[in-house]
Structure 1
Amino acid sequence: MSINHLSRLPKSLRLRKSIMEEIMDSRTRLLTAIAGEEPDRVPLYCWVFGFKAPKELRWTEKCREVTHWYTMRLEHIHTLPQKWDIQQDFLRVDRWLSLGLDDVLDVSVPWSAHPDVTIRDWKQPPSAQEPYIPPLGGVGGGYTILCREYNTPAGALRHLVRQTEEYQGEGWVIQPDHPELFEDFNIPRGIEHAVSSPSDLPKLRYLLCDATSAQLASYREQMAQVKKFADERKVLVQGWSAFGMDGIVWLCGVEGAVMAAMENPSFFQELVDTMYDFDKRRTEIMLDVGGVDMVVQRGWYSSTPFWSPALFRRFVLPHLKDLVTIAHQAGALFAYVMTTGLMAMLDELKEANIDLLYFVDPVQDNIDLKVFKQRLECNFAVAGGINSGVTLGRGTPDEIREAVYSAVHDLAKGGGFILSPVDALFPDTPSDNVKILIEAWREVCNYPI
């Protein structure tokens, strides 16, 4: 790791070797790994998205057992089957820490629509012209259409989505009863996405306003709670303030975004600039309020399944570099999310000067971890190393143990590695397999490796 990366750590965390050999608290351990150093042990950090926790780790609220775990990273997701708040985040963190794992508190910055914007919701009945047929049929042969119209001072913006109503099982997402502007669920079900032409951009800007005074006061109050808990438990706080290309795809759909970039690049650039302005404002608010160790930008929809390295360099990299600089100037670290296409995008990620990459996945990305480590050249730290859906979801105990051993052996030497299932523990991730993951990690986690 370069001197520049090390210098971003607070002086109190630039630890001498003798101190580093002692047991670290969770925040120090993660910050040391992110700085490219070797902490006392390889951190194990498990994101959760509906994970069905083992019974001995659950808690009860209002006479109801909290079975599935989420995170405040999902605060602006509208498809969760249950409410999740910061107090539940605190309880989850305590449960993971009790096992010796590391965990992180996630926060995100609110925003608002212009006060003159009004919203109208309605449903259109199934149509015989609808090309998608529900599995069990349906009236008219198609799906009901959920419709939302934003009436702005610049004109109306419409968003139409199929109401598929499928049940995926306990803990999984459910479809809301109206289209939300930013939501994964809309992408494959969209009929008319919110943004499709240059004339939509003035309307869109009315929906991307700063937080109201009431929202900001609530956020400050929440951050005071977060800071108090984080200081007491010595845990890291990361802030999700940048949608990046994920926001573009939410607004346009996958096909709409890719085609706009290729066929109407001037319009697409203006849309990208609009999203960056929104991301930058929220990031600056978050850094101004304080209490965040690391800024995180989403990038699930910024990788090679959607964009070539040339398009990434043109439309993503410039604003990403700017946001990284803003975070660093404020004394915060910067993490970027990308789970596929890492070898193809590695030069661009190095140039971005990020501190941490979420995630490297040897299965989904079909990546050789040893080669990746060599090509990385200690430019930034990485989290990941073990696939969640296949390895943890369906692997045998021996396969899980071997995956953990390989990830630690290939990525942890010299520091700069956080072992993490990519990219979360889900409702169908067997808790017994998670226990095997933890057991295997304990067998190989201690430095020196």
Structure 2
Amino acid sequence: MPQDMEQLYQERLNRYVTAMRNEKPDMIPIRPFVAEFVAKYAGMTCQDVAHDYTKAFEAAVQCARDFDWDAVVANMVYVWTGLAQAAGLRYYGIPGIGIPANTGFNYIEPPEEQAFMREDEYDELIDDPTAFLYNTWLPRVSTEVSKIGEPATYRNNIALTKSAMAMMQYFYAFGPQVGRLRSECGTASAIAGIFKSPFDIIADKMRGYVGLTMDMHKQPDKVLKAAEAIMPHVVNVGLTTADPNNQVPIGFWMHRGCVPFVTPQQFDSHYWPTLKPCIEEFWKNGHQTLFYAEGRWRHHFDTFRELPERSIVFHCDQDDIFEVHRKLHDRFAISGGVPNMLLSWGTPEEVRQFVLRVIKEVAKDGGYILDAGAIMQNDTSVENMKMMTQVCREHGVYGSGTYKTPVATPPCDLPSSVESRKKVTGLAGRPAPHVKPGVCFPWEQRAKDLPEITGDKALVQKVWEDVDALGNMYIWQMLLSF
């Protein structure tokens, strides 16, 4: 790649990393989470970027190049609906198939009586979450996959094969896409890895919100045990998909844990005890977590302060960004807070004035990354996006002499961070699940089915476990990502 583009990339990455350290870079980094907005800007439909990820990739590159942003997600329209169709997933409204082609894909939560997990199935989930996903959950969420005990149909077989191969194809395409952003735009990749809280998973794709609400009254102990059973598995997904260089954070999409979805008491009894150890485990392993706090989370700001300094980047959606700054900035970097309604329906002058205030009051000491409150769809105004970017570039430059080129270490490897990582508990001391995270069919069971191994037993075991892990990746990514 051209030397000047690589230099630009390194400058932007350093700027972004410095801000995530809660320190002051040379200027405020811009990291917009743009989804269907990229389709609008590139002259494409929502169907184009949801159903053909190569078009989504192209639109993301075009936006990054034209807007002069520091970091973006390689594809914020992350759910590839071509894969969702291959698997026959019931819970998506797909642009151009049953809904308008220029409406973003959407999640359709089933009625309570058709929830993908029944109220009497907690024990099965607790015993072996991975087996539950394959045996019970997948046949219910798919129009194609046969239930256990039913004949394996032609459609069942090809759906599993196509969707698994499509997932690998899609995931392998992200490496070159990140490379394009770097070489063609000088833009850093904003996040790596995926994580959701165990409580959110039960609410989102298993019991549904209504079902979980009833369970919290009828059988709260079962809910807690289920969330605890899920913890090591989602941590495994987060760690195995995280940035190997420990520079950009693991993305954590926060859904049902805020008021009014659950009470503060339920947050304290179920949500936080099964979330905090996961975030600590990421920190122990050198990774920050991006708290993408969808909704309003002000009731829990004091609780978030229990986490180690710098261990998270708090993204502000519907909370007051100025209150977030007052409550959290001394411990964590902050991003977002520019209202989506303002970017969609406000005037450019209103955008200008709000961003100027954010620069003056929130970003004045560093540790701030400019972004909207929530993921930007195709209702976001191009003119307002240009204004937000322009104002930040013109007025978001820190005073001469305040910026020092950061030491070439990731956010979690600063001396103070290294010490705090030694003090957190994470998942240590918790009972190990009888089927380890990352495993579907344990080698110990498989070995009983094989003839005597006369050669290199360790080689046979390693290859079995490596391939078995792919089966584990498929079902957990289906749950978390699609």
Q: TM-score, normalised by structure 2?
A: 0.61
Task: Name the structure 1 match of 2:208.
Answer: 253
Q: How many Å apart are 1:35 and its aligned residue?
A: 0.3
* Contact 1:48–1:69 (8 Å) recurs in 2: no
> In structure 2, what residue type is equivalent to 1:407?
V
Task: Name the structure 2 match of 1:100.
Answer: 68
1:239 equivalenced with 2:192 (yes/no): yes
Structure with more of its chain in strand, by fraction:
1
**Deviation string for 1:255-306 (max 9, x for gaps)?**
2222322331111112212332331221232249778732122212221121
* Contact 1:52–1:171 (8 Å) recurs in 2: no
Q: How many Å apart are 1:174 and its aligned residue?
A: 4.6
> In structure 2, what residue type is equivalent to 1:89?
F
> In structure 2, what residue type is equivalent to 1:185?
I
1:43 equivalenced with 2:29 (yes/no): yes
1:199 equivalenced with 2:117 (yes/no): no
> In structure 1, what residue type is equivalent to 2:269?
R
* Contact 2:314–2:332 (8 Å) recurs in 1: no
* Gap runs ≥5 in structure 2: 1-7, 79-86, 135-159, 403-482
* Contact 1:320–1:352 (8 Å) recurs in 2: no
* Contact 1:51–1:70 (8 Å) recurs in 2: no
Q: How many Å apart are 1:68 and its aligned residue?
A: 4.8
Q: 1:84 aligns with which of 36, 48, 53?
A: 53
Where do 1:274-423 residues align within 5 Å?
274-287=229-242, 293-353=248-308, 355-361=311-317, 364-365=318-319, 367=320, 369-388=321-340, 390-423=341-374
* Contact 2:325–2:334 (8 Å) recurs in 1: no
* Contact 1:52–1:68 (8 Å) recurs in 2: no
1:435 equivalenced with 2:358 (yes/no): no
Alpha-carbon separation, structure 2, partners of 1:96 and 1:161: 28
Q: How many Å apart are 1:434 and its aligned residue?
A: 1.7
**Deviation string for 1:111-157 (max 9, x for gaps)?**
xxxxxxxxx98xxxxxxxxxxxxxxxxxxxxxxxxxx9xxxxxxxxx
Alpha-carbon separation, structure 1, partners of 2:265 and 2:397: 40
Q: How many residue pairs were aligned?
A: 350
CA pair 444-427 structure 1, distance change in 2 beyond 3 A: same
Aligned with 2:73: secondary structure? strand
Alpha-carbon separation, structure 2, partners of 1:310 and 1:214: 43
Alpha-carbon separation, structure 1, partners of 2:93 and 2:396: 47
Aligned with 1:443: secondary structure? helix
Alpha-carbon separation, structure 1, partners of 2:63 and 2:25: 22
**Deviation string for 1:61-120 (max 9, x for gaps)?**
xxxx6455999xxxxxxxx4x2225x8436514532442212233589x9xxxxxxxxx9
> In structure 1, what residue type is equivalent to 2:108?
F
Aligned with 1:302: secondary structure? coil
Task: Name the structure 2 match of 1:5.
Answer: none
Aligned with 1:206: secondary structure? helix
* Deviates most, 379-388 or 332-341: 332-341
* Contact 2:39–2:48 (8 Å) recurs in 1: no
CA pair 357-306 structure 1, distance change in 2 beyond 3 A: farther
* Contact 1:335–1:357 (8 Å) recurs in 2: yes
* Contact 1:42–1:445 (8 Å) recurs in 2: yes
* Contact 1:34–1:355 (8 Å) recurs in 2: no
> In structure 2, what residue type is equivalent to 1:359?
H
CA pair 350-267 structure 1, distance change in 2 beyond 3 A: same
* Contact 2:339–2:373 (8 Å) recurs in 1: yes
CA pair 223-99 structure 1, distance change in 2 beyond 3 A: closer
Q: How many Å apart are 1:214 and its aligned residue?
A: 6.9
> In structure 2, what residue type is equivalent to 1:206?
A
Q: How large is the Cα RMSD of the aligned pairs?
A: 4.1
Alpha-carbon separation, structure 1, partners of 2:357 and 2:244: 41
Aligned with 2:294: secondary structure? coil
Q: TM-score, normalised by structure 1?
A: 0.65
**Deviation string for 1:136-195 (max 9, x for gaps)?**
xxxxxxxxxxxx9xxxxxxxxxx99999x99765532356xxxxxxxx3225x5542112
CA pair 296-235 structure 1, distance change in 2 beyond 3 A: same
Q: How many Å apart are 1:395 and its aligned residue?
A: 1.0
Aligned with 1:296: secondary structure? strand
Alpha-carbon separation, structure 1, partners of 2:366 and 2:105: 40
Task: Name the structure 1 match of 2:453.
Answer: none
**Deviation string for 1:399-434 (max 9, x for gaps)?**
211111122222101111111111022112222222
Aligned with 1:427: secondary structure? coil
1:186 equivalenced with 2:109 (yes/no): yes
* Contact 2:252–2:292 (8 Å) recurs in 1: yes
Aligned with 1:436: secondary structure? helix
> In structure 1, what residue type is equivalent to 2:36?
G
Q: How many Å apart are 1:446 and its aligned residue?
A: 1.1
Identity of aligned residues (%): 18
Structure with more of its chain in helix, by fraction:
2
CA pair 328-234 structure 1, distance change in 2 beyond 3 A: farther
CA pair 326-218 structure 1, distance change in 2 beyond 3 A: farther
Aligned with 1:303: secondary structure? coil
